[in-house]
Amino acid sequence: MRILEVGNRANVSKVAYGREGRQLIAAVGDRFVSWSLETFERERVIPRVSLMPLDCLFVPGGRAFLEANGYWKAEDELPGAEKLSAGHLQQMGNLNSLTGFLCFAPDGDSVLRVSYAQPWQSPLRFALWDFGGLCVRTYPHAGSMYSRWATFSPDGSLLAIGGMSALVKVWDAISREQIAELEHTDSVFGTTFSPDGRRLATSAGRTVRIWSVPEGKCLHKFKAFRAYTECRAFSPDGTMLLAGSREGRVRIWEVESGRELCDHDWQRGGVSDVAFSPDGLTAAAACSKQAVVVWDVDF
């Protein structure tokens, strides 16, 4: 286990693996920090454009991120600070880059947003936009007054939508038809699809659940954390689920059996994000007490 200190009195809000698992990237206060996972040495520090809440949202695998003042796409790793220029921050048509962001498409080439086209500011209308400002597809009736986030399945065929309520709606992303409703007893903070798209993990209140999709059947409801849990990640082979909570604990479960495999608390503050490496051999957690924890996953 390694604790990578960031040392600038700022929370670590996001973490992702880059360069095929040889690099770790984190959003830390007013900067991005990357480390080599071969030497665990800090590689570079890049100032962030803004500190708005939506200014660092990683595409799965760390292939891209969203900055508050515009969009920039990186295939494998963050560039050097000297390369961050206006040319890397493509504004998306006439849309404010902070307005209505929901999630990236699986290929990282487009984003799903609340659309403020007609009807004016309707919360029921979502649209998928590419980075050139072109509308790829609309979802006229997918949203609700409480929609705050969305998640595509890895192949882009399913779309889970929710936020500020205890209900998650699952849609066929191609036909744009609703196929399931997943009911919880607490507000849902987010969802994550398994790599094969057959399972959906949800964080609701202090609990994590695994659902079968598109059937909408709850397979497991795991033992509750002592504080809210808002982040989760499937292992690359889909056999394990990792989740973190505001109390600072992280747990890993076996997806099919529901058996708990580990329960860690490194006393580094609340966990805001978790990630598996591409080979599934290590995992990382973003902690509020100025650190990223990296550990071996060996069961």
C-alpha gyration radius of the chain: 18
21 in any annotated domain: yes
CA distance 9 to 61: 27
Same domain, 167 and 250: yes
Domain boundary among 90, 114, 133: 90
Q: Is the peptide bond preceding residue 79 cis, with omega within 30 degrees of 0?
A: no
- pLDDT of 23: 83
Domain boundary among 59, 90, 121: 90
Q: Domain range spanning residue 81?
A: 11-90
Mean pLDDT of 267-289: 93
97 in any annotated domain: no
Same domain, 86 and 179: no
How many domains is the chain built from? 2
Going by their DSSP bridges, the two strands 240-245 and 42-47 should be labelled as: unpaired
Ranges 22-26, 139-143, 243-247, most confident = 243-247
User: Which phi and psi (to 5°) does residue 82 adopt?
Assistant: -70, -15
Residues 6+ apart with CB under 8 A from 249: 225, 226, 263, 264, 265, 271
Q: What is the largest CA-CA distance in the chain?
A: 54
Residues 6+ apart with CB under 8 A from 68: 49, 50, 51, 52, 54, 55, 97, 98
- pLDDT of 6: 84
Same domain, 153 and 74: no
Same domain, 260 and 180: yes
One-letter amino acid of 261: L
Domain boundary among 52, 68, 90: 90
100 in any annotated domain: no
Report pLDDT digits (tens) over 27-79: 887 777 888 899 999 887 777 655 544 444 455 545 545 443 444 444 434 44
Same domain, 72 and 162: no
Same domain, 85 and 161: no
Same domain, 153 and 246: yes
Instruction: Tell the burial category of 291 from Cβ atoms under 10 Å away from its Cβ (0-12, 13-18, 19+).
Output: buried
What CATH number did the domain enclosing 218 receive? 2.130.10.10
Predicted structure pTM score: 0.85
295 in any annotated domain: no
Same domain, 256 and 156: yes
Same domain, 67 and 169: no
102 in any annotated domain: no
